[in-house]
Amino acid sequence: GAGVSQSPRYKVAKRGQDVALRCDPISGHVSLFWYQQALGQGPEFLTYFQNEAQLDKSGLPSDRFFAERPEGSVSTLKIQRTQQEDSAVYLCASSFGQGYGYTFGSGTRLTVV
Amino acid sequence: GENVEQHPSTLSVQEGDSAVIKCTYSDSASNYFPWYKQELGKRPQLIIDIRSNVGEKKDQRIAVTLNKTAKHFSLHITETQPEDSAVYFCAAPRSGSARQLTFGSGTQLTVLP
């Protein structure tokens, strides 16, 4: 596709439920990033992939968060045993090569009830 | 790691006036400074960026200036229009030349008709 595609667009999860968020980057983009954006705040870095290699996961807030990109294209962010503080918009971004020129997806709005 | 501070948090201007948003950063090794515009419920979109080897960059009504000595950079929007109303985020590399970005907390710009 022409842009970064994320699904689902909205997700409501009961506390304790596991969720999986999908990101389909722009074709050929080597770098893929996940960010978390709380209401009224700027995006905060979670993790970074270069192709299939996860080069930085220092932003993941706990071991309940896990991300993968097994074939170097589509990525999945998984959150286990969701808690209310996980409620946020999860943004995926990709860029060509190792450049800075991010293109963000529209995000997945996760609400934990 | 990088620390980015952004102000003001809200800014209202009359249509046709100029708007200025300022950011400071902490890591003197940072070499790339983008600005993103985010309309309500939409993805952040890159509107302009600057690298540390230049002091100013312009694109039509938008300009960014960088003062490396003082470690601050600013977004200037001239001849503002109602469609400029949005939240604007500045960012800097999370540490040195990293591709991951640290974002400011955002400025809600409202252009009054």
Cβ-defined contact of A107 to B34 (cutoff 8 Å): no
Name residue A56's amino acid: D
Give the pLDDT band (50/70/90) at residue A96: confident
- Find the mean pLDDT for residues A74-93: 98
Strand ranges for chain A from DSSP E = 5-7, 10-13, 19-24, 31-37, 44-50, 53-56, 65-68, 75-79, 88-95, 103-104, 108-112
How confident is residue A91, by pLDDT bands cut at 50, 70 and 90?
Answer: very high
Chain A CB contacts of B42 under 8 Å are 106
Structure tokens at A81: 């045993």
From the CA of B37, how many Å to the nearest CA of chain A?
A: 11
A108 and A9 Cβ atoms separated by less than 8 Å: yes
- Residue A86 DSSP SS3: helix
Is residue A38 pLDDT above 90, yes or no? yes
Whether residue A48 and residue B104 make contact (CB cut-off 8 A), yes or no, is no
